[in-house]
Structure 1
Amino acid sequence: MLKKIFLLGMNTLVTFTLLAACSNDGGETITSSKPTAQEVLKEEPNADIIQINGTIYKTNIKRVDDLKVTKDKEITIIQKTSKKDFEDGTASKLPVKTKIFSTKEQNDVVIAEINGKIKKYIALAEG
């Protein structure tokens, strides 16, 4: 019985020690933010991305390509193509004047329409 109590106490002590060692010292709050175009392109230079309302959207993701979504309202038009100077309305690959639409089913997915073909883009969440 004494051995069980000793082992339980040691287990508890080790657990609290590990938790304390892994905690954030200094009382700082760790926050995350949405990835920027520069961060995405640094990690994947050939990424096909667009920026809408400060959010980066990316395509060529199998699970997104497989989604059944319906084009809804036009939300923006691509104003420029760039890999360095990104702002709302910028795309890394889409041509200027490409129309971007919301989808009825998902708020985080948009559709780009190019010559009658569609590409699905998903918002990159905070990381």
Structure 2
Amino acid sequence: MRILVLFLLLLSTGCTSGEGEEQVKPNPTPSSILQENPEADILYVNGIVYKNASDIEWVVDSDYEKGDDLGIVEKQVKDPEGFRDLTATHLLVGTPLYEAENVSGDVIVAETDEGDLPYLALKEG
């Protein structure tokens, strides 16, 4: 009887070796993006890197609108180590940022003198 209880206890704790478990990749960082492309047009908001999506057809073709105000770009840098929240590589300091509405995906709209620019979140897993 004790052996049966011990067996059931071990079975219920789910002893596994970890093999076959799917590894979740971390989200890209400003450093990893800029190592691949030092000229990348990116934005860093709330721990997520966003890439200029002006050349991504499905984003441009969606009827996105500006939603909630997220703040303004506070810092412009090219050095990946200089990134903090509300930092961009190309957008000017003071550029207003908004959540995008009416679009599938995590998109931010940057309001620039040349018009609104969409930025798409770069997320893994």
Q: TM-score, normalised by structure 1?
A: 0.72
Between structures 1 and 2, the one with greater helix share: 1
Task: Tell me the secondary structure at the aligned position of residue 116 of structure 2.
Answer: strand
1:58 counterpart residue number: 51
Q: Runs of 5+ in structure 2 lacking a partner?
A: 1-16
2:76–2:93 Cα contact (<8 Å) kept: yes
1:87 counterpart residue number: 84
1:42 counterpart residue number: 35
Matched, 1:68 2:63: yes
**Does 50-59 or 103-112 show the bigger shift?**
103-112
Q: Which has the larger radius of gyration?
A: 1
Q: Deviations over 1:62-87 (max 9, x none)?
A: 22233320111211210000122111
2:42–2:88 Cα contact (<8 Å) kept: yes
Alignment coverage as a number of residue pairs: 102
Residues in 2 aligned to 1:46 and 1:65: alpha-carbon distance in whole angstroms: 21
**Residue pairs, 1:1-127, within 5 angstroms:** 27=18, 30-59=23-52, 60-63=54-57, 64-84=59-79, 85-106=82-103, 108-115=106-113, 117-126=115-124
Task: Tell me the secondary structure at the aligned position of residue 62 of structure 2.
Answer: coil
Label 1:116 to 1:46 Cα distance change in 2 as closer, same or farther (>3 A).
closer
Residues in 2 aligned to 1:98 and 1:54: alpha-carbon distance in whole angstroms: 18
Label 1:66 to 1:41 Cα distance change in 2 as closer, same or farther (>3 A).
farther
Label 1:46 to 1:65 Cα distance change in 2 as closer, same or farther (>3 A).
farther
Q: Runs of 5+ in structure 1 lacking a partner?
A: 1-25
2:62–2:102 Cα contact (<8 Å) kept: no
Deviation at 1:125, TM superposition (A): 1.1
